[in-house]
A = this chain, B = another copy of it.
Amino acid sequence: MRGLDAFFSPRTVAVVGASRDPAKIGHLVLKYLLESDARVYPVNPSADEILGRPCYPDLASIPEEVDLAVLAVPAATTVQMVRQCVDKGVRAIIAQASGFGETGEEGRRLEQEIRSILAAAPPDRRPRLLGPNTLGVYVPRRRLDTTFTLRERSPRPGPGDIAFISQSGATAVCIMEAAATLGVGLSAFVGIGNKLDVDENELLDYFAQDPCTRAIALYLESFRDGRGFLERCRRITPHKPVVVLKTGRSATGARAAALHTGSLAGSDRVVEGALRQVGAFRAYDEEELVDLARALGHGRPLAGKRVAVLTTAGGLGVIATDLLESRDRGAGLELAPISEEGKARLRSVLVPFASVHNPIDLTANSSNGHYAASLEVLEAEPEVDAILCVMQFQSPFVDDGLAQIIIDWFHRGPKPMVVVTIGGELSQRGLRQVVQAGVPAYPSLWRAVRALAALYQRGQYLRRLHPLPPAADAAEPPEGRAAT
């Protein structure tokens, strides 16, 4: 076990401050961790057993090595417990308590004490520490969950492939709830809190290597080491997309961040350009953060800017066209021309009053079959770089099977595809289904178009990094010329 693995795949976990009281954090943390695949040890000197598990008076009495210790105790006690962790040889510590640097002088002194304890430990027995002031980690595929919000109130996302690093715990909880509702999954969540030891940079490195992570989303109020962050992005973004919601864009925002997590935001204008240069995406709000991470993590980058729109409501096609093509309040992309052959094929399968011009309008009489046939045509169109599929469930000839048709074409077809659905319960159900299957799908046209724009931008970035060799027919001069 090396690096930060002890945080994300511990074999053994100690819950220090485990409690019998269901209202206590130390109870919730233990309860949820008992569902994980790790061996879990409650630590509490004044209890014999909690939730059916024998309780240990201290870390030292745990009969095996401890990979991860979750400290669910107040700030002052946390300091003592870090000392115990060092003595026990614990590999990783999650310090959950608040009341540290974010609250003022006394808190900063406590943090300094922890730093000294860690520094004094022999390097080969020096635990890594997450926090303080953090919910810790949540790794859905292992059911490893140290966050202590009630699951009944705060549903968690299922397993997925987006890593989410957040400097704010409560905010991350809200974002994860919204993501879960939409069907978005995570490879891991990690709250960095006051980043006394482990920071966003090290976590970037970690998730860059993590085979379960396809995109990295960060909520940051400050950079521990901005230059280091950018260097990492430059190294990572060619392989894995990085999306950053970095606050402090406004002066008051920067001050608010300083009050919230005690962090200095740094100059924002530098951030903006620098992130772009190293191929990272900047998100401007909590919704865009997850929207872009999904688009970039699951979608294919666009090779060109020509998009085919498939819809059953002409108006939605027209609005989408404006959003795709406009430079102001739009994506600056283009509508793809459909070949005459493609139009003929579409005409042969669609209802007579359907429009085979892009945006392609299946009309309100669309069926599952019309969608499937149209996608087949569009996937083969030479001048289509991407498909915006408007998945609507209003037609009586469309049923729940539509979502699966779209999922299949998304995975099978060569073209990048983004899906949008506007409507009520049926739409929301369909949306959840396709999102869970890894399709970048959204409940509004603009969010879908913005996803396409990001995939186009990423395509351009990757192309600049790795210019394609000239096409074969152009690379080899025609025989006649070669002879001259």
Contacts and interface: CB of A to CB of B under 8 A. Distances in A.
- How many copies the complex holds: the figure is 2
A315 interface: yes
B444 A181 contact: no
A364 B334 CA distance: 45
Contacts of A330: 249-250, 284
Interface string A57-86: 000000000000000000000000000000
A322 interface: yes
A363 B259 CA distance: 13
A329 B288 CA distance: 12
Given A178-B422, A355-B260, A423-B174, A325 B253 contact: yes
Interface string A144-155: 000001100111
A119 interface: no
Given A149-B394, A174-B422, A424-B154, A318 B247 contact: yes
Contacts of A249: 322, 325-326, 328-330
B250 A180 contact: no
A250 B325 contact: yes
A260 B396 contact: no
Nearest to A179: B424
A145 to B, nearest CB: 15
Nearest to A98: B353
B424 A177 contact: yes
Contacts of A286: 316, 319, 422, 444-445
Interface in A421-473: 422-428, 443-446
Contacts of A181: 423-425, 428
B167 A315 contact: yes
A161 interface: no
A270 interface: no
Interface in A170-204: 170-175, 177-178, 180-181
Given A250-B330, A313-B168, A174 B323 contact: no
Interface residues of A, number: 85
Contact of A252 (B167, B335, B428): B335
A357 interface: yes
Contact of A171 (B98, B248, B313, B426): B313
Interface string A282-300: 0011111000000000000
Contact of A180 (B150, B359, B424): B424
A349 interface: no
Contacts of A315: 166-168, 170-172, 219, 221, 247, 260
Contact of A446 (B153, B252, B287, B334): B287
Interface in A322-358: 322-326, 328-330, 334-335, 353, 355, 357-358
Contacts of A392: 170, 174
A250 B359 CA distance: 13
A370 B185 CA distance: 33
Nearest to A364: B170
Which has the most chain B C-beta neighbours within 10 Å: A175, A248, A328?
A175
A308 to B, nearest CB: 12
B446 A155 contact: no
A335 B257 CA distance: 14
A96 interface: no
A12 interface: no
Contacts of A36: none
A251 interface: yes
A177 B23 CA distance: 40
Given A168-B314, A423-B177, A250 B326 contact: yes
Given A322-B249, A330-B249, A423 B154 contact: yes
Given A249-B322, A287-B446, 13 more contacts: A168-B318, A170-B315, A174-B423, A177-B394, A247-B318, A253-B319, A253-B325, A259-B314, A260-B318, A260-B355, A284-B329, A285-B445, A287-B444
Interface of A: 23, 98-99, 103, 149-150, 153-155, 166-175, 177-178, 180-181, 219, 221, 245, 247-253, 256-257, 259-261, 284-288, 312-319, 321-326, 328-330, 334-335, 353, 355, 357-359, 361, 363-364, 392-394, 396, 422-428, 443-446
- Cβ-closest 10 pairs across A and B: A171-B315, A168-B315, A250-B325, A170-B313, A260-B314, A177-B424, A253-B322, A177-B423, A174-B422, A253-B321
